[in-house]
Amino acid sequence: MVKAVILRRESMETGEALDLIGSLVAALKGYTAKLPAVVHLAAMPGGLKPQPEAVTAYEQVVYRFRSQAAASAFKRLSEPLIDSLEAFEAGEILKAVQPLLLALDLLELMQREKTIAVAPAEEGRLRDYRAALHRMMPGKEPELEGAGKGL
């Protein structure tokens, strides 16, 4: 009888963390693309909820991230990703975007603190994800300029 051995890696790489965050950003982009330009709260006070399949996919990415990041520096990102998942489930797009911006802020802080190494190509991905999330935010008011860059 042969026993299967499952090797569990001890740490997550920066590229892998960005891949998973990128999956969440893509899920939000797909969801916002289906929303009407204006959603009146009087007509839909609870917001527009995503399809159950989309919620399940989002949830799987968050929990995969949590399981892979458990013993690494990326563990700090778990709470904002859970917050984003909860907001996504509820159909609250702005509340789903803000925790992802916080996760990007934490990644940049970890880079400055030299906790993680971020290659130049990965820095470009960070900028792209931030830009995509900002495009999901309503309005282009000057006071929103630089939002999500608080750390």
**In the chain, where are the structural domains located?**
14-34+46-137
Query: Which tokens go with 137?
Result: 């935010």
The tokens for 148 are 């999500």
Which pLDDT tens digit goes with each residue over 84-134?
999 999 988 889 999 999 999 999 999 999 999 999 999 999 999 999 999
- Strand, helix or coil at 121? helix
| Mean pLDDT value of segment 58-73 | 92
pLDDT band at 136 (very low <50, low <70, confident <90, very high): confident
> Binning pLDDT at 50, 70 and 90, where does residue 39 land?
low
**Once rounded to an integer, what is the mean pLDDT over residues 129-142?**
78
| CA–CA distance, 67 with 46 (Å, rounded to integer) | 31
